[in-house]
Each structure stands twice: as C-alpha cells, then as structure tokens.
Structure 1
Amino acid sequence: MEPTAATPPLLSESDAAAVAEVMQGLSSPARVRILARLLHSPCSVGDLAGDLELGQPTVSNHLRLLRHLDLVTGRRDGRSVVYELHDDHVRALLQQVLAHVHHGDQA
C-alpha cells in the first residue's frame, strides 16, 4: 500500500534501531550534561571534567560513546583533543529536548 497524505511512511527497522541507539546514548545524565556543556563552546576532556565535576576517565569514556554515535567530534589541538557537537542537527536536538523539558515550567 502506497503512503498517502493521511498515512505517513513507516519507519524502517534499521532507522528505528539507529534512533533507539542514539536515544540510549542520551539516557545517561552525565552524557547529557557533557552535550549541554558543548552547546556553549568546544573544550578539552580536562575542561569538561572540571566544569562538570566528573573524573577525567569518566568523561573520556562517555565521549568515546558520544563519538561512536556521531554526537560529538574531536580535533587535535597540540597534545590535547578539543571536543564539540557533531553538527547543527545535534545542537537542534538538544535544544528541542531542553525546551520540551522546560515546557511544563511555564504553566
């Protein structure tokens, strides 16, 4: 059956799995805090650890998963790596989720 205006196309199994994997990546408050910090500006693991009051190994482990999910990227800057959000899609996703969470605050 062809999709019509009334019946949107179904999400493929592989796309659903990819979305679920990204959502699982966002299931950790520490990873969400890392991403929220990167909304403001790129920074190193050490800066993230200090800003979020987390251990550097913990931040590194979370960043490894966030890189795997294409939510952050890292670029060499001398001896350190500077992390930033992967792209504007990630920025928009975070901003939308944060707006949704705070939506009830306005009532």
Structure 2
Amino acid sequence: MNADKACGLDVDSEYVELAVEVFAMLADATRVRLILALRDGEMSVNELAETVGKPQSAVSQHLAKMRMARMVSTRHEGTRVFYRLENEHARQLVADAIFQAEHTLGGTPRHHHVQAEGGAA
C-alpha cells in the first residue's frame, strides 16, 4: 500500500481514467483466458484458439484489441503470428482478480493454502 503512494498513485492521478480502460479491456472472459494462456510464453493464434475453446477469428479479434491496448505484442515467423504478453502487469491483474474472486466463495481461498505451504501465490 505504501508503495502505491510512493509511486504517485493518488485518487486524482492522471492515470485513473487509463486504468479504467485497462479494466474495461479485461472485462471479457475470453481476454482473461488469453492472458492466462500467455502467462508462460508466446503462442500462435491457432494454439490460443484451441486453448480457450473459441474460433480462431474471434480470438484474432480479441488479440487485435489487446494489441492496440499494448497488452500483447507479436512476433512473425513466416506466415504464423505468435503473441506474447507485453509485460507482467496484465498477468498480475488477472491473477489478482482471480484471487479476489476466490475470496467470494467463502472459506480459505486456494491461493492462501499455497502461501501457507511456503509457495508463492
């Protein structure tokens, strides 16, 4: 929490509206699944479509929006396009959102069990 203030993250920060746009971009289950799929490294559109169980055309449209929002970047290899997360922040936002969702179920969230066992959440 103190790190937030040290970084200049105040209620009147110029970045608040941009942060809202980030949350809006992540307010889609397919995009959240794409970020989860990309957390371990780059994947092609076809691999991503298979992983998230959506048509390749729909995945391509989501990835295009995420690319414009600078959440993902691409690498071309011949005719194939590989996507990767632009940085760790979208991955961390999604992880934190899922951790928060686990709290809504009651009991001790799964990520707290991992922390208690000495692992990282």
| TM, length-normalised to structure 1 | 0.80
Structure 2 segments unaligned to the other structure (5+ residues): 1-8, 108-121
Q: Which residue of 2 aligns with 1:58?
A: 58
Asked if 1:11 corresponds to 2:12, the answer is yes
CA 1:11 to 1:77, structure 2 compared with 1: closer, same or farther past 3 Å? Answer: farther
Deviation at 1:49, TM superposition (A): 0.7
Q: Which amino acid aligns with 1:72?
A: V
Q: Which residue of 1 aligns with 2:75?
A: 75
The 2-side partners of 1:85 and 1:106 are apart by 32
Q: Which amino acid aligns with 1:10?
A: V
Count of residues in correspondence between the two structures? 99
Q: Which has the higher contact order (CA 8 A, sep 6+)?
A: 1
CA 1:77 to 1:92, structure 2 compared with 1: closer, same or farther past 3 Å? Answer: same
1:43-54 matched pairs, under 5 angstroms = 43-54=43-54
Q: For each residue in 1:80-100, what CA deviation from the matched residue of structure 2 results, as whole angstroms up to 9, or x when unmatched?
A: 111111112222222222221
| Matched position secondary structure for 1:40 | coil
Q: Which residue of 2 aligns with 1:25?
A: 25
Deviation at 1:41, TM superposition (A): 2.6
Structure 1 segments unaligned to the other structure (5+ residues): 1-7
Of all paired residues, the percent bearing the same amino acid is 28
The 1-side partners of 2:90 and 2:65 are apart by 15
The 2-side partners of 1:11 and 1:70 are apart by 24
Q: Which residue of 2 aligns with 1:4?
A: none
Deviation at 1:59, TM superposition (A): 0.3
| TM, length-normalised to structure 2 | 0.72
